Amino acid sequence: MLVLLILLEIVGIAGLLTAARLGNVWLALLDVLAIFMVSVSFGGLFVVNPNEGRVIQFLGRYAGTARSAGFWWTNPLAFPRRKVSLRIRNFESARLKVNDHDGNPIEIAAIVVWRVTDTAEAVFQVDDYENYVKVQTEAAVRNLATTYAYDSHTEDQLSLRTSSDVITERLRTEVQDRLAKAGIEVIEARISHLAYAPEIAQAMLRRQQASAVVAARARIVEGAVGMVEMALDELAKKQVVELDEERKAAMVSNLLVVLCSEQNTQPVVNTGTLYT
């Protein structure tokens, strides 16, 4: 098309010179009109870069999108030809301060990897699709944070800190649902920052430490009871010594003290009988 326009421009200029030499006014006017229309047609030329689209409108209607990279021509009246990037882009939300499911204030942020797949919806469905991505992502992150607790209190409870795979998929799905109407595909969405708010961080840290201590002590007691039970069964099975209920209770007490104590216990040697 570029070659054709150049040839038409040359023919028009040659015709104008011929008409001027012959003194034919009407022919000169026709040549001027032809040169003007060819010059206007040059406005239909545009370039499409790789991973880029040009949204074309004709008389206010959507005419299509040029996606293939190269040098193109379209009707010069088909404008504006808005440029839309089809490249993969990242967006990291600001650190949002919200309350989790338990009402604890937390700070949370997310990274969303996205790209435009439908240029018409991205341009015509929303005013600014880049700002739309930002606002809807932050809204989805806030909603996610209020749905789950920061930390789980039971093994089957989902939480923001421990259930990373489930939370990541839930976040990606929710962001995708919000951005689908703008012709945007969410490739990945992941939490990039998660922490308690500064005003309760120390209190929550002590709470986590206390929970860890309780869980550890419960495991120690469970193991100690099993060892005591095994010791009594082995003594009875091999008939090493016969113990009445009082001596069994004393032995259980001593073994639990030894096994559950946080410090090393000092043994006491009994040189008499079991009853002295």
Q: pLDDT at residue 189 above 80?
A: yes
Residues 6+ apart with CB under 8 A from 199: 105
Query: Is the torsion defined by CA of 241, 244, 250, 254 positive or negative?
Result: positive
Distance CA 162, CA 149 (A): 10
3-state secondary structure of 20: helix
Q: What is the DSSP letter of 159?
A: B
User: pLDDT above 70 covers what percent of the chain?
Assistant: 84
Of 7-11, 35-39, 103-107, 189-193, give the lowest mean pLDDT range: 35-39
Residues 214 and 191 in one domain: no
What pLDDT was estimated at residue 122?
Answer: 94
Q: Which two tokens stand for residue 112?
A: 């969303």
Q: pLDDT at residue 97 above 80?
A: yes
- Residue recorded with tokens 């699709």: 129
3-state secondary structure of 122: helix
What pLDDT was estimated at residue 17?
Answer: 77
* Residue finishing a domain among 173, 196, 219: 196
State the CATH number of the domain containing residue 170: 3.30.479.30
Residues 221 and 187 in one domain: no
Q: Please tell me which residue, 47 or 223, carries the higher pLDDT value.
A: 47
* Residue finishing a domain among 196, 224, 243: 196
Residues 39 and 76 in one domain: yes
| Closest to 260 in 3D by CA, of 223, 214, 207 | 223
Q: pLDDT at residue 275 above 60?
A: no
Residue 80 lies in a domain: yes
Residues 148 and 190 in one domain: yes
Q: Are 65 and 53 in contact (CB under 8 A)?
A: yes
What pLDDT was estimated at residue 117?
Answer: 94
Q: pLDDT at residue 268 above 70?
A: no
- Residue recorded with tokens 């005591």: 228
Q: Render 187-243 in DSSP notation, one character per residue.
A: EEEEEEEEEE-HHHHHHHHHHHHHHHHHHHHHHHHHHHHHHHHHHHHHHHHHTS---
Residues 217 and 121 in one domain: no
Q: Please tell me which residue, 89 or 151, carries the higher pLDDT value.
A: 89
Residues 99 and 187 in one domain: yes
3-state secondary structure of 60: coil
Type of residue at 45: L
What pLDDT was estimated at residue 271?
Answer: 58
Q: Which helix (H) or strand (E) holds 4?
A: helix 2-22
**259 confidence band (pLDDT: 50, 70, 90):** low
Distance CA 96, CA 22 (A): 79
Between the two ends of the chain, the Cα-to-Cα distance in Å is 115
| Closest to 89 in 3D by CA, of 116, 109, 117, 114 | 114
Residues 6+ apart with CB under 8 A from 77: 58, 59
Q: Which two tokens stand for residue 225?
A: 């009871």
Residue 62 lies in a domain: yes
Look over the chain and give the mean of its residue pLDDT values, rounded to a whole number: 82
What pLDDT was estimated at residue 146?
Answer: 92
pLDDT, tens digit, 9 for 90 and up, residues 197-226 = 877 667 667 766 777 777 777 777 788 788
Residues 77 and 119 in one domain: no
- Across 225-242, average pLDDT: 75
Residue 203 lies in a domain: no
**61 confidence band (pLDDT: 50, 70, 90):** confident
Count of structural domains, the chain: 3
What pLDDT was estimated at residue 44?
Answer: 82
Residue 158 lies in a domain: yes
* Residue finishing a domain among 84, 110, 125: 84
Residue 272 lies in a domain: no
Residue 176 lies in a domain: yes
Q: What is the CB neighbour count within 10 angstroms for residue 125?
A: 14
What pLDDT was estimated at residue 221?
Answer: 78
What pLDDT was estimated at residue 13?
Answer: 76
What's the domain range around 124? 89-196
What pLDDT was estimated at residue 192?
Answer: 92
Residues 136 and 155 in one domain: yes
Of 77-81, 125-129, 176-180, 191-195, give the lowest mean pLDDT range: 77-81
Residue 268 lies in a domain: no
Residues 39 and 135 in one domain: no
- Across 42-69, average pLDDT: 88
Residues 172 and 228 in one domain: no
Residues 169 and 98 in one domain: yes
What pLDDT was estimated at residue 28?
Answer: 73
The winner for highest mean pLDDT among 23-27, 35-39, 67-71, 271-275 is 67-71
Residue 267 lies in a domain: no
Residues 69 and 9 in one domain: yes
